[in-house]
Amino acid sequence: MRKYGSRKEGGGGLRNGRSSSASRPGSIDPSSWKYFDSRAVGIPAGAIPRNCMAVLQMLKRKGFEAYLVGGCVRDLLLKRAPKDFDVITTASLKEIKEHVFSRCFIVGNRFPICLVRWRGSLFEVSSFKTNTTQVKGNENVNCSEDTDGRDGGDILRWKDSLRRDFTVNSLFFNPFNHRVYDYVNGVKDLRKNKVCTVIPAHVSFKEDPARILRGLRVAARLGFQFSSETSTAIRDLSPSIMDIDKPRLAMEMKYMLSYGAAESSIRLLRKYGLLDILLPFQAAYLSDQLKGKSSDRGLMLMVSNSEMCHVVWKIGF
């Protein structure tokens, strides 16, 4: 990822780019909010698929703001091809269905979203109005400055970023004004190849233990390291993954062992003791086979074969 300057907005760089203690998870300082020109940071206009742009444009035509959010923005900044594009809008889910995409489906209980199918492509569209009522852990976030007088759009996006799992997944991108919004130092962590929770890691993982597995997936797929606080919390709270309901646990594991990241995922599961919890017999077998070996690459390649992973998962559960 290329280095970004700390110039003020208008020069193609970021605004309010001074260093801040906000880089620490859980310490959100509005003075550190940053704005990047997507053209200056290497996101070409053609990086957004036509069908995705069409979904954004239809929301905009109806008078709503719409942004790309999460992993797709992260991957665009890393010059990687996103596997999907998630959208967030100022429209409520009801407004999306009644005024924009009448054939969409509203799914999910914990975090409901609209599934929008457009010309053969499927997009997940969430709403700021839904998310702002479901942000937890905000009492653990310290604001060094009052947000009074700040732009309403900034407040909306900032509040939404607080509910997200990791800083690198908390970026917003408006392709219409070519602006990337960063409220939690996500770009800074991208530069450092770090996976860091938005709110304090222990609070984040207690709130949702599945974030532990999602963090491992991000680190494995991107080759990133965990921040020290996040790493400690994973070790401390690793048993809590058994509190995840089995269908969701199976889904998280399926994602983790897909997209060519199975080997690195298994390494991380072993490193943090999660393989012993999820698949104790297989973990014991691996440990026995690795005794006295200087390299585990051959065995790991065997175990990380996608078919083998699915068999192991089926045996384990």
Whether residue 29 sits in one domain with residue 121: yes
CB 4 within 8 A of CB 14: yes
Whether residue 212 sits in one domain with residue 183: no
Whether residue 46 sits in one domain with residue 165: yes
pLDDT digits (tens, 9 = 90+) for 265-309: 888 998 999 988 887 877 787 777 777 666 665 555 555 554 445
Whether residue 236 sits in one domain with residue 189: no
The pLDDT value recorded for residue 78 is 95
R_g of the chain, CA atoms, integer Å:
20
- Answer yes or no: is pLDDT of 189 > 60: yes
Whether residue 298 sits in one domain with residue 188: no
Report how far residue 228's alpha carbon sits from residue 194's, in angstroms, rounded to the nearest whole number.
Answer: 10
Annotated catalytic residues are 84, 86, 165
* Residue where one domain finishes, among candidates 170, 195, 220: 195
HSE of 210, CA atoms in CB hemisphere, 13 A: 14
Q: How far is CA 314 from CA 15, 189, 206, 253, 304, in A?
A: 50, 36, 27, 11, 15
pLDDT band of 1, cuts 50, 70, 90: very low
Mean pLDDT of 55-68: 97
Name the average pLDDT for the chain.
82
**Domain annotation covers residue 94:** yes
Q: How far is CA 174 from CA 43, 45, 66, 243, in A?
A: 12, 12, 7, 37
Whether residue 191 sits in one domain with residue 241: no
Whether residue 250 sits in one domain with residue 179: no
* Residue where one domain finishes, among candidates 152, 173, 195: 195
Q: Which residue in this structure is represented by tokens 């797929």? A: 221
Whether residue 69 sits in one domain with residue 85: yes
Of all residues in the chain, what percent carry a pLDDT higher than 70? 76
The pLDDT value recorded for residue 126 is 96
CATH number reported for the structural domain that contains residue 57 in this entry? 3.30.460.10
Amino acid letter, residue 293: K
Beta strands at 142-143 and 27-28: parallel, antiparallel or unpaired: parallel
Whether residue 205 sits in one domain with residue 189: no
CATH number reported for the structural domain that contains residue 272 in this entry? 1.10.3090.10
**Domain annotation covers residue 30:** yes
The pLDDT value recorded for residue 301 is 55
**Domain annotation covers residue 10:** no
- Where would I find the H helices in the chain? 50-61, 71-77, 93-95, 128-131, 152-162, 186-191, 201-207, 210-222, 228-237, 246-256, 262-271, 274-278, 280-290, 297-303, 306-316
HSE of 251, CA atoms in CB hemisphere, 13 A: 7
Report how far residue 48's alpha carbon sits from residue 176's, in angstroms, rounded to the nearest whole number.
Answer: 11
**Domain annotation covers residue 209:** yes
Mean pLDDT of 135-147: 50
Of all residues in the chain, what percent carry a pLDDT higher than 90? 57
Count CB-CB contacts under 10 A for residue 60: 14
Residue 275 belongs to what domain range?
Answer: 201-316
**Domain annotation covers residue 15:** no
Structure tokens given for 162: 């607080």
Whether residue 224 sits in one domain with residue 155: no
**What's the structural domain count of the chain?**
2
**Domain annotation covers residue 5:** no
The pLDDT value recorded for residue 71 is 95
- Answer yes or no: is pLDDT of 155 > 70: yes
Burial of residue 191 (CB within 10 Å: 0-12, 13-18, 19+) is middle
**Domain annotation covers residue 12:** no
Which of 67-76, 185-194, 287-296 shows the lowest per-residue confidence on average (mean pLDDT)?
A: 287-296
**CA trace torsion 7, 9, 11, 16 (10° rounding):** 0
Mean pLDDT of 159-172: 95
Whether residue 312 sits in one domain with residue 216: yes
| Length of the chain, in residues | 317
The pLDDT value recorded for residue 14 is 39
pLDDT band of 40, cuts 50, 70, 90: very high
Whether residue 186 sits in one domain with residue 81: yes
Higher pLDDT, 151 or 295: 151
User: Secondary structure of the chain: what % helix, strand, coil (to 5)?
Assistant: 50, 15, 35
Mean pLDDT of 167-179: 96
**Domain annotation covers residue 7:** no
Higher pLDDT, 32 or 237: 237
* Residue where one domain finishes, among candidates 171, 195, 219: 195
Residues sharing a CB contact under 8 Å with residue 196, sequence separation 6 or more, in sequence order: 25, 166, 167, 168, 189, 226, 227, 229, 230
